[in-house]
Amino acid sequence: MFQGVEKLIVYEKSYEWVLSIYEATSEFPREELFGLTSQIRRSAASISANIAEGRARESNKEYKRFLYISRGFLEETKFHLNLSKDLGYIDSEIHTELIYDANKIGRLLNGLINSLKDE
């Protein structure tokens, strides 16, 4: 029904963003490994994962549902980035870049959601 997920710009950008999140969190305090580090990585990875899972569904309705879930994980990750900055775990410049990219991904997600016709 749909072309491969790898061809979607929003998937590509969100996947690249996850790699940046992993890099940015690699220097978080060791005591946060099973706390904030794990949570921010998990929520960031869930964005691309839900885009891919939704793409594999049989209908636009299901696909949209997964895109909305991705958007929720994007907002969750942005919260964790803000918390990380305020705790001093992430450099302000890196935080600004990650939030900028997150907002771009959000616009791409919104565009994709709006492009899908309801069934």
**What's the pLDDT tens digit per position in 20-47?**
999 999 999 999 989 999 999 999 999 9
CA distance linking residue 42 with residue 113, whole number of Å: 23
Fold of 5-115: de novo design (two linked rop proteins) (1.20.1440)
Judge if pTM exceeds 0.85: yes
Q: What are the extents of the domains in the chain?
A: 5-115
Task: Supply angle C-alpha 26, 36, 78, rounded to 5.
Answer: 90
Q: Around Cβ 1, how many Cβ atoms within 10 Å?
A: 9
Place of tokens 């492009």: 115
